[in-house]
Structure 1
Amino acid sequence: FTAIMSSRFPSSVADQVRQASEALKRATEDGLHRHSVRLLLPLIGATELDDWPGGSRQMIEAAYPLMENILTNTGAERVSQSVLDESDGVRAIMAQATEAKDDSCAVLLPSADTIPQLQTLEKQVGDTRNLVIANPQWKRQSDFGFFGRKNKIDFAETFVPTFHCTNLIVEGQQARILRSHPGPWRVFVSEDQRGVIEWKEIGSKEFLATKPEGWNGKAANSKDGGRLFDYGQPTYQEISEMIVSQEGYRPPTVTERAAAAFTFNKDAL
């Protein structure tokens, strides 16, 4: 079975799950077995895609059914769960398929503190089965502390962003980043079409499969706690340049910027 790649931004929670499932299938067919999946989490009881404002335990509750559906869509017949970290409630979903060789595992919202448990879990999963981290919480090298930092960072960076969906405010506009294996990073901005929010693609950036030589030695990558290898994800500045280079672009007024920020914050509540 070959999954078909969608050309548009996910229009709903169910659509996001479908696109993530297809990306995971394609990546597995291509021989990848260490995946990072980043999802926009729905407000519990809501049906629209939103960023999630709650703490880690609430986020895990929102992420669990999405990841369970993704694993089911990719071959799981039975799933069970276990808690890896009692303090944060970090959870692992064990997925059993028809054949043991197709079993998989997903860990929800792992933190830098759970790297040792992840490394143990990876050995149990093996090299030829899928291990997925969903919405990992680390953001920079300094998150991994001092003892054994390089080993932890190297391990965290082995998880390839098979599917990635995030949102942010850039130049007073709501923007979203989408990456679905094996495609590039794609950037969308929101447009109000007669009261309906549509997502318009304004640019893309090549996906970097391997870490460039001298990554850690670059001054720009050593700021703000040290930048983790991000497989070429567009930076804030690059997204800003995509926005302002659009035909007919005009800078938003102060009022428009405030309205965009208010809407963005409201969507996250």
Structure 2
Amino acid sequence: MVQLPTDIDSAIIQAQRATQTALAAGNRRLQIELNIPELKIMPIAERFLPMFENLQLKLRVFFPDAGSAALARRDWGHKPYEIRGMEELKAMIHPDDQLFLFIEPSAVEVETVEKLCDQAGDRPVVLLNPRLEDIATIGIGYAGRQLRERFLSTFICSYYLRPLEKAAILRAYPDPWQVWVETDFNAYELMTEQVNKPMGDELDRILSGTPTPDQLGTPSSIPPWKAKKNGFLSELQTLFRALTH
């Protein structure tokens, strides 16, 4: 069973392993989400490049805009693959491309991302820290539901980490979603595991100790897995409180 990461380095390693496992299992549309306040995506994305390069597939990297792509080309040095903004004229899918990495696409680019993913067909596509769910959340009625069904629901989350106040959500493929809570003993304890991502009222019920239909176990039935409280999550939760209060 995956444990809470002790620092950002171990979180990246977990994400890499989970994504490799998901790709090896035949999954073709994946999301990696490090849902951490104030996270700078450029150095994080660079840390993932060796994993994709080692797959020995022809890679193509997309940023939301040409400026970010140009900055990456400058900072990362020469790469044997193209790094483009999604709206650039050269940002098209080529027949010999084999793997596509979209870095932090937002709801603004959702139609472009969908179009490029459709062109990619059954070739692997990975979204790193996507910000696409907002548009499905704010979409009114049928339009929002249609977008989620047509595009967002075609992806699975290979890795997810989100610190909360006195809790954390973790998922590393193929393990289920986990909710960890801070205890009174300077540690974190696994509260529950479930098939689907805990959100909204369901997450509130989990954190309050109320069982939900999706849970694979209740606090009394889950083995008492514990993780030491560490500076990494403590600092993230301090930042979380500063940003939300």
Q: How many residue pairs align between the two structures?
A: 200
CA distance in 2 between counterparts of 1:149 and 1:71 reads 32
Identify if the C-alpha distance between structure 1 residues 101 and 32 changes in structure 2 by more than 3 Å, giving closer, same or farther.
farther
Secondary structure in structure 2 of the residue aligned to 1:7: coil
Alignment of 1:64-213 (within 5 A): 64-72=45-53, 75-76=55-56, 81-85=61-65, 103-127=98-122, 129-137=123-131, 138-139=133-134, 141-144=136-139, 148-154=143-149, 155-169=151-165, 174-190=166-182, 198=187, 200-208=188-196
CA distance in 1 between counterparts of 2:190 and 2:142 reads 42
Q: Verify the 8 A CA contact 1:95 1:105 in the aligned structure 2.
A: no
Secondary structure in structure 1 of the residue aligned to 2:154: coil
In the other structure, the counterpart of 2:206 is: 238
Q: Verify the 8 A CA contact 1:38 1:163 in the aligned structure 2.
A: yes
Q: Verify the 8 A CA contact 2:61 2:102 in the aligned structure 1.
A: no
Identify if the C-alpha distance between structure 1 residues 83 and 264 changes in structure 2 by more than 3 Å, giving closer, same or farther.
closer
Unaligned runs of 5+ in 1: 1-5, 41-50, 209-230, 248-259
CA distance in 1 between counterparts of 2:195 and 2:72 reads 28
The answer to whether the aligner puts 1:63 opposite 2:48 as a matched pair is: no
Q: For 2:64, give the aligned amino acid.
A: L
CA distance in 2 between counterparts of 1:164 and 1:192 reads 25
CA distance in 1 between counterparts of 2:136 and 2:176 reads 24
Q: Verify the 8 A CA contact 1:17 1:70 in the aligned structure 2.
A: no
Structure with higher RCO (Cα < 8 A, 6+ apart): 2
CA RMSD of aligned residues (A): 4.1
Q: Verify the 8 A CA contact 1:205 1:232 in the aligned structure 2.
A: no
CA distance in 2 between counterparts of 1:165 and 1:239 reads 16
Identify if the C-alpha distance between structure 1 residues 30 and 132 changes in structure 2 by more than 3 Å, giving closer, same or farther.
same
1:14 Cα deviation after fit: 2.1
Q: Verify the 8 A CA contact 2:62 2:100 in the aligned structure 1.
A: no
Give deviations 1:144-201, integer Å, cap 9, x for gaps.
46795444222112211111111111xxxx21111111111112234687xxx65x23
Identify if the C-alpha distance between structure 1 residues 19 and 101 changes in structure 2 by more than 3 Å, giving closer, same or farther.
farther
Q: Percent identity?
A: 21
In the other structure, the counterpart of 2:232 is: none
Aligned mate of 1:30, from 25, 38, 49 = 25
CA distance in 1 between counterparts of 2:64 and 2:7 reads 30
The answer to whether the aligner puts 1:53 opposite 2:38 as a matched pair is: yes
The range that moved more, 179-188 or 117-126, is 117-126
Q: Verify the 8 A CA contact 1:84 1:117 in the aligned structure 2.
A: no
1:85 Cα deviation after fit: 3.5
With structure 2 as the length reference, what TM-score do the two structures score? 0.63
Unaligned runs of 5+ in 2: 74-78, 82-94, 211-217, 221-235
Identify if the C-alpha distance between structure 1 residues 95 and 237 changes in structure 2 by more than 3 Å, giving closer, same or farther.
farther
CA distance in 1 between counterparts of 2:66 and 2:169 reads 32
Q: For 1:105, give the aligned amino acid.
A: F
In the other structure, the counterpart of 2:10 is: 15
Give deviations 1:62-102, integer Å, cap 9, x for gaps.
432243244246x157766444345998x999996xxx989
